[in-house]
Amino acid sequence: MEGTDVMVAVYDQDDRLRFANGAFRSAWHIEDGERPLWSDLMRRNFAARRGTVISADDFETWLRSVLGRRGKTGFRAFETDLHDGRWLWMTETMQADGWMLCVASDITSLRPDERELRQARDMAIKASETDDLTGIASRRFVMSKLEALVKTVPADLPISAGQTTAVGCVAVLDIDNFKYINDRFGHSVGDAVLMDFAATIQRLVRKTDVLGRVGGEEFVLVLPNTTTWEAEAIIGRMLAEVRQSRPVREQVSFRYTFSAGLASARAGDDPADLYRRADLALYAAKMRGRDQIGIDVDGPRANGSAGG
């Protein structure tokens, strides 16, 4: 492994490097024995203008966009270039527990005349999977992951099993009183809230989760292999974090909240069924006063739980 020119690395469920061979460490400037988070490695190399070429003025916006896709599918292949002039073909293979195998090969000499066309193709795919304003996953991408989640549910799963069996959940997240924010403070503040919300929630999602904006102030969070109890705890942390956020520097007293509706995937669900149950749970949370989690009204915990 150490002697090959092929670059090989393994990242764990937290996206921390757990193994990298010599070729990989050299390409991305990693010291022997170092175990950085992938995001920290990219941030460090971006500042030093080495490793992966990142064509973006705002690194954090670029990072948020990439994290919306990284680790969200079982297998992903793409091309990328390095500051040292090399062009790489890279693959990411995911395990269900969030561990990832990365393999990169030098393809600098292969048909450089077609590189621009391949880049344009990759950029078009990225654009279709990314929300323009917030930089997180688009409606199209997150809804495809909702459909994939439904397909994994065993046909004989009992209705209440989602509470204790990690089949997966979906949450619909909606910023509270967003129309009032737009009307009172203007659309520029509304946009700032949307971007702050996306960035705050994205920092808290796990590697295998998918957060996407589906329209206006509504977002969807897909949580594979997750029980209702686990999902409720995750969203509870998100509620607390958003309460502390201050998205408008000029108005330090300005704050906002959101509400969430949570539903566990069940046998026989189609994507519309699961989404509808999460949306009804969101409506119940709004009716109870907002800034809290509503649990699927068809499940055994119909009353939900307050988030504060």
Q: What is the 3-state secondary structure (H, E, C) of the chain?
A: CCCCCCEEEEECCCCEEEEECHHHHHHCCCCCCCCCEHHHHHHHHHHHCCCECCCCCCHHHHHHHHHCCCCCCCEEEEEEEECCCCEEEEEEEECCCCCEEEEEEECCCCCHHHHHHHHHHHHHHHHHCECCCCCCECHHHHHHHHHHHHHCCCCCCCHHHHHCCCCEEEEEEEECCHHHHHHHHCHHHHHHHHHHHHHHHHHHCCCCCEEEEEECCEEEEEEECCCHHHHHHHHHHHHHHHHHCCCCCCCCCCCCCEEEEEEECCCCCCHHHHHHHHHHHHHHHHHCCCCCEEECCCCCCCCCECCC
Partners of residue 159 on adjacent β-strands: none
For the chain, which ranges sit under pLDDT 70? 111-113, 158-165, 297-308
**Cβ atoms 23, 4 nearer than 8 A:** yes
Alpha-carbon gap, residue 162 to 201, rounded angstroms: 23
Confidence (pLDDT) at 226:
93
Check residue 304 and give its pLDDT.
40
pLDDT given for residue 113 in this prediction: 67
Instruction: Indicate which residue of 92, 129, 217, 232 is catalytic.
Output: 217
Say what the pLDDT of residue 253 is.
83
What is residue 57's predicted lDDT score, i.e. its pLDDT?
87
- Which residues are bridge partners to 37 per DSSP? 16
Inter-axis angle of helices 228-244 and 187-204, nearest 10: 140
User: What region, left, alpha or beta, does residue 197 occupy, with left being phi > 0 and alpha being psi -120 to 50 degrees?
Assistant: alpha
Tens digit of each residue's pLDDT (9 = 90 or more) over 92-128: 999 988 999 999 999 988 766 677 777 777 778 778 8
In angstroms, rounded to a whole number, what is the distance separating the alpha carbons of residues 189 and 301? 36
Say whether 217 is catalytic: yes
306: closest CA among 264, 253, 260, 270? Answer: 260
Yes or no: say if 51 and 82 are a contact pair by the CB < 8 Å rule.
Answer: yes
Question: What are the tokens at 275?
Answer: 């989404």
For the question of whether the overall pTM of this predicted structure is more than 0.85, the answer is no
Q: Determine the Cα–Cα distance for residues 262 and 240; give it in Å rounded to an integer.
A: 17
Domains contained in the chain, CATH given: 7-128 (3.30.450.20), 139-295 (3.30.70.270)
